[in-house]
Amino acid sequence: MAVALAAACSSPPPPPADLADDLAAKVTVDALSTHLEALQDIAERNGGNRAQGTPGFDASVDYVAKLLRDRGFEVQTPEFDRYGGTRGGAPGLTVNGRGHPVDKASLLVDTGPEGVDAVTLRPVKPAGCAAADYGRTDVRRAIVVVDDTGCSVVVKQNVAVDRGAVGLLVVTTGGDKGSPPGLFTPGYYRELTIPVGIIGADANAALRRTTAPVRLRLDGQPVMAKSRNVLAQTTTGDARNVVMAGAHLDSVAGGPGINDNGTGVAAVLETALQLGSSPQIDNAVRFAFWGSEEIGLEGSRAYLRSLDAEHLADIAVYLNFDMLGSPNAGYFTYDGDQSAATAPVPVPEGSAGVERLLAGYLNLAGVRPADMPLGNATDYEPFLAAGVPIGGLTTGAAQQKTPVQARLWGGRAATPFDPNYHTRRDTVDNVDRRALGIMAPGVAFAVGTYARSIDGANGVPPRDNRDRKVR
């Protein structure tokens, strides 16, 4: 009897009947506020921000890592290389002896001061997004000149390289609105292998007036800097069916980044702390806090590049949380089923189920959800490109709230969801606690649901049926 009693006393408590609801109830606004105030304090003690490459970011890493370790997690803070600038160099384009300004897009490619001498040629269709755009034009050993429409600079370069080009110039009008959306995808420069420059109208006009070779000089040594991610995984659960939840840890240089993205960090961190390092779950849970999201999604991209095919296939689903307390809040799920997309894109199987799960949670929480179109500006994008089912929540950034949305959720129409986005006003005082109190438990609900099961109507493909793209 004594042995039986001792065994009973040492046995772990039974898991809650509904892990998702139980975990969501434990993620409280008071606990989240503690993390937000800590991140605010870190920013105030380090020049007003927590940006990549600053002491404020390093202190943010230490804060998150310590809390996770104190809760029993084995924490990793793997380093990765990121672009930190260029040393030396004098980029330029010389046409008929006259110099013209050129911006270096291929940041990791150095022509040296001698540059590249070649004639310039153009595809029949100015975009140069497909082989068919070139018609019969032979651009071997030439510098190709294209416009800035239709596709990314990476696609333009790849098509030109396949046709034998030795360089690429992209003509952009730029102006106050900058380059067209989609021209420079996050981390694009890592995929450029030949000299690629950006020129304006004057240089383009000069090129049209000559058939002589020109000199494209894109020199300057790239300077790579180190950064870190924070990763922690439960010791329990199937490591071949990993549920990942992530948020970016860095702010912009212009402010403390408490809504963007201290709120996402707080929600993922508190979910981890409440779940614990050794819960009774079926699928392992991995928590990620990304560096350098504000500079090309470098942290999440580096993480995925570090995985071989087997470890990539182990990731069952990735859940991303970026801005959960916008002061003029919307209540969005990422559009995993592409129901709101004007130009639908391929989305990994299972993403629609994640959207349904989170939309159902928000409905039960008392708010009607809407779709946030998928883009390439936050950390789910590299997972999406790798074929991992994705989903997540956000309360919106610089987008303007419509009159319909204002009637649906309250707040002010014709005003950004977060008027303080990427400014020094992005502080604890400007986080909407009601929105945070709805959205952050949704993080825990999704984690708890998939930690128990990846099957069912809102499930994701089983381990043997996963189509992944190692990059």
Instruction: Indicate which residues carry an active-site annotation.
Output: 293
| 181 C-beta neighbours (distance < 10 Å), count | 11
Nearest to 52 by CA among 93, 15, 81: 81
Q: How far apart are CA 244 and CA 284, in angstroms?
A: 9
- Name the 3-class secondary structure at 171: strand
**Structure letter (DSSP) for residue 428:** G
Could you give the C-alpha distances from 239 to 13, 99, 247, 262, in angstroms and in order? 22, 58, 21, 28
**Structure letter (DSSP) for residue 106:** -
Residue type at 407 in one-letter notation: R
- Name the 3-class secondary structure at 201: helix
Q: How far apart are CA 22 and CA 121, in angstroms?
A: 64
Nearest to 175 by CA among 201, 205, 206: 201
Question: In this structure, what token pair is assigned to residue 148?
Answer: 């800035």
Q: How far apart are CA 256 and CA 39, in angstroms?
A: 8
Q: Which residues are CB-contacts of 25 (< 8 A; sequence separation ≥ 6)?
A: 441
Give me the DSSP letters along 339-408: TT-SS-----TTHHHHHHHHHHHHHHHT---EEEPP-SSSTHHHHHHHT--EEEEE--SSSBPPHHHHHH
Over the range 183-214, which residues count as b (16 or more CB within 10 Å of their CB) and which as e?
bbbbbbbbbbebbbbbbbeebbebbeeeeeeb
- Name the 3-class secondary structure at 184: coil
